[in-house]
Amino acid sequence: MLLKLLILVAFAALRVASAQGGLQNCESSCGNVTISYPFGSGEGCYYSSDFLVTCNRSSEEPIPFLGTGNIVISNMSISESEVEIMMLVGHDCDYSSGGWKRYEPYLWLRYLRISAKNKFVAIGCDTSAYFRGRRGNDDSNDPLDGTGCISRCGRNSLLSNGSCSGVGCCEVAVPEGLKNFSMTLRSYNNHANITDFSPCSYAFFVEQGKYKFSATDLLGFRNKSRMPMLLDWAIGDQTCDQAKDMDGFLCKGNSKCDRDYGGPGYRCSCLEGYEGNPYIENDCKNINECERGTHDCEHICVDTPGNYTCSCRDGYSGDGRKNGDATGCSADQSTVIKIALGVSTSAIFLFICATWLYLILKKRKLVMLREKFFKQNGGIMLQQRISRDGSSNGQAKVFGIEELKKATNNYDESRIIGKGGYGTVYKGILSDNRIVAIKKSKLADQTQAQIEQFVNEVVILSQINHRNVVKLIGCCMETEIPLLVYEFISNGTLSDHIHKKGNSSALTWDIRLRIATETAEALSYLHSAASVPIIHRDVKPMNILLDDNFVAKVADFGASKLIPIDQIELATLVQGTLGYLDPEYLQTNQLTDKSDVYSFGVVLVELLTGKMALSFDRPEEERNLAIYFLFSLKQGRLFQVLDERLQLNEVPNEIIQVSRLAERCLRVKGDDRPTMKEVANELQGVLASLTQKHPWVVSGSNEDEGEYLLKELTTDYESTHGGKVSNASSSTFDSMSKLTILPIESGR
């Protein structure tokens, strides 16, 4: 045995001497793979047969093989002592028409070993895969190491892409130092009952991170015959201490033996400050850190073999280094004074120049940015429209950005008076002491069509002169998102007075009726009296402002749409607030003036009940106020749902009439609802009857219907609670009850 070992060592020494003497004639690459000693292709170019690379040049792209077998090399690293190969994939398949096919690859190595950076992976729905290998010599008595895993799945299994957890795919770690392996791949049930889903099992070694499981691999992995696998390598079977005195020892010259490597065999690396192939004598060359800029010298760098030295330039002293515990280079006293004076003078001059230049450029950039936004937002178009239409008190004013900044104290948070789905509203004081509301929108219109529409809306809204519509005073076009300036309404929103504690007591029934009437008149004006019909599209108490005399002002036209006179409906994306949205609009995306009628109907119900339109704090059947109100009306329970803060002992005729009007506004089909003009006229009549203390009767066909409802509600009310009402339209409630209530997260 000893004689055999000596012969092998002598043969290796001869091969090394031959290789290192003639490596210049060896191939340095094959295809995309760089070949470096101890690997090589050709006589005298490799250390031993384990490091032989066979380059097959018969194909269009040369392919390197490990040894004379069929193991394809895809990459190799001398510094990491690793070789990446494309290892064959094992398979076990039951093809119903082509019979059974099984392939179980194996691998036998001498100086190369299977890296522990690999994983053993099995894929299949009826798969048992394991491997066995030996760490020692081929003829040793060391026991075989082995492990494996099981992969199962069925048609309804929850397959997880990227995870080999045992469902469709499993994986195990590879033991350190295996020199060979044999693979066994089996099916528990011979792929019974799942052949049309996954008729194959697969197993392979693969480098960590180079494979992620996909459910499609259960059927499509047959197209993959090889997977990337890492092999570790070292020289021989002896350690550094055992091999250093032998003739075939490779770590020579500026190369050292890596003592951190625990074997078997040994590895070489270049000395610090050198680079190259450590397995070729004198191939580790000095690194010139000074030329590469990898040094830590502060001033002067001088290269030395395997290192470098640092020094300071004239007028400075120290070790010249700038990292770690180095002292660096310190200027002499006289030099410090000179440098300080020069630096301070230069710094002051540069600071003054830079500040002056910065202010000029900043001002110029700001002016250019404002001009850009002004043109982008249609400012020129708006000015042309204003000058073409002639100047009048009703025209919109184009404000400058500085004027609005000053009016809002640079948009201080203390000036915020409201936030909504479309923007933030600030309280501002103009130079003429007018108090205004300035709205910053969240979304900017960028297309030419949107800019033209925005300008058109500004012009039209500024010309609206109705006591119950918030007046648009003007806009600012010098910001990225245009700012709108409205008249300031001091007494908050209708929602504040209805729903906030302590406020609703001031809203008596006659005030609520007047607010409803004024709101209806404003919407009627927008629908039928404005130069271009306007659909508000977001009618709700939060968008109805009140002044100190509780006069209603319709506000927030951020979602509004201008409707051409020749159109009665407009296809558009659904916008608005859940609880107030027209169900027909929600289902068809067809916006009409009847959409505002439905939303106004919900507002009427809020005025009657004092409850919010949508609340998940209430019982399930009461969450949607409109549906619950119609149900209560149908069941004759109007008195029970009226706002307790109205302090009613009986149901007045005016409330019955308004309840009936709300029921008509809330009908599912828009054609069955009244117009806002009809609603406004009817509310005016109810308000007049309340003021004059006598009932107001609806003319025409509505007269009989109103009298019938009034009689029925009054009779039921007197017979039970002194104020109970009878059935509302059952068809309306039934159709409303079938409407699906969409989940919401917040207001809009």
Q: End-to-end CA distance of the chain, in Å?
A: 88
How many separate helices (H) and strands (E) can be counted in the chain?
Answer: 18, 37
User: Rounded CA gap, 343 and 346, in Å?
Assistant: 5
Token pair for 229: 């696998």
User: Rounded CA gap, 12 and 235, in Å?
Assistant: 10
Kind and range of the H or E run holding 152: strand 145-152
Does residue 538 have an active-site annotation? yes
Whether 123 and 215 have beta carbons less than 8 Å apart is answered as no
User: Rounded CA gap, 659 and 664, in Å?
Assistant: 9
Q: At what angle do helices 379-389 and 448-463 cross, to 10 degrees?
A: 40
User: Rounded CA gap, 713 and 369, in Å?
Assistant: 65
User: Rounded CA gap, 695 and 538, in Å?
Assistant: 32
Model pLDDT, residue 564:
66
User: Rounded CA gap, 532 and 564, in Å?
Assistant: 7
Strand, helix or coil at 25? helix
Beta-strand relationship, 397-399 and 472-476: parallel
Model pLDDT, residue 728:
36
Q: At what angle do helices 625-634 and 653-665 cross, to 10 degrees?
A: 120
| Residue 93 CA to its chain's centroid (Å) | 43
Q: What is the dihedral of CA 593, 386, 482, 563, to 10 degrees?
A: 10
What are the phi and psi torsion angles at 551 (to 5°)? Answer: -85, 130
**Exposed, middle or buried, 102 (CB in 10 Å: 0-12/13-18/19+)?**
middle
Model pLDDT, residue 136:
66
Selected catalytic residue, list 92, 94, 126, 538: 538
At 121, the amino acid letter reads: V
In order of their start, the domains of the chain are 82-233 (no CATH), 289-333 (2.10.25), 379-487 (3.30.200.20), 574-737 (1.10.510.10)
In the predicted model, residues of the chain with pLDDT beneath 50 are: 1-21, 195, 391, 694-748
Instruction: Classify the C-alpha dihedral 128-129-135-141 as positive or negative.
Output: positive
Other CB atoms within 10 Å distance of the CB of residue 422: 18
Model pLDDT, residue 116:
92
Residue 440 annotated as binding site: yes
Q: How far is CA 487 from CA 120, 432, 454, 571, in A?
A: 75, 13, 19, 32
Other CB atoms within 10 Å distance of the CB of residue 392: 9
Token pair for 416: 């915020």
Q: Which residue has the tokens 């002194």?
A: 722
Among 56, 197, 206, 70, smallest CA distance to 129 is for 206
